[in-house]
Amino acid sequence: MFAVRIAALAVIAFAQGTQAQTDPSNIPQPPTDALVRFQPFLGTYTVTGNFAGQEWAGTLDVRPAVKGWYVEWEFNVHSGPIDRQLRLLMTWDAGAEQYRIWRFETLPPLPSGTAEGTGWFKGDELVMEWAMPAPDGEAGTIRNRVQMEAADTLVIVTEGERASGDIQRIGVMTARRRL
């Protein structure tokens, strides 16, 4: 009898959580107005730069994803024998009133709580930020500052900020839009 009650509660909770997805009079819409800010960044780029003391080259694709609910940033870069891919999915969270970012990359899984970050615009500059420990374990933040330097050139500056407030530049990547 107890198991039946628990199952009934689970069905009710599931139905309430999915109501908007199955109610034809209440169809959720992507956050188009908030994601339009990414329009200048959309495109396919050739990327070069120095990141963490190594020269990197490859591509970057910035495009709408998941039926317009997200913007995806897909980096495919190489440095010597190292072949890396980094994907970022970004969307607007109206409840939190901020951009949310999830990162997926060709590395072992990140520590719990570090794969999701936040983003905001400071003028025309996009700032992306994740709480991540420094290599020595000290608490800190990794930050990307993204700007269109010209109509066809995107510059990404990555920096780390320790809990102590010290900021260190990790790298600069330049992306040139392919025609």
Q: Which two tokens stand for residue 173?
A: 């990547």
**Is 78 within a domain?**
yes
Determine the Cα–Cα distance for residues 64 and 62; give it in Å rounded to an integer.
7
**Is 82 within a domain?**
yes
* Long-range contacts at 118-126 (CB < 8 A, ≥ 24 apart): 119/90, 121/37, 124/40, 124/148, 126/37, 126/38, 126/41
Degrees, nearest 5: CA angle 71-72-78: 155
Determine the Cα–Cα distance for residues 134 and 126; give it in Å rounded to an integer.
22
**Is 4 within a domain?**
no
Degrees, nearest 5: CA angle 34-40-44: 120
**Is 67 within a domain?**
yes
**Is 150 within a domain?**
yes
CATH code where residue 141 lies? 2.40.128.20
**Is 72 within a domain?**
yes
- φ/ψ of 87, rounded to 5, equals -120, 135
From first to last of the 179 residues of the chain, give the pLDDT tens digit. Answer: 545 454 444 444 444 555 567 888 889 999 999 999 999 999 999 999 999 899 999 999 999 999 999 999 999 999 999 999 999 999 999 999 999 999 999 988 877 888 999 999 999 999 999 998 776 778 899 999 999 999 999 999 999 998 888 899 999 999 999 97
The total domain count for the chain is 1
* Those residues with Cβ within 8 angstroms of residue 13's Cβ, 6 or more apart along the chain or in another chain: none
Query: What is the domain range of residue 105?
Result: 32-177
**Is 17 within a domain?**
no
**Is 47 within a domain?**
yes
- Please tell me the pTM assigned to this model: 0.85
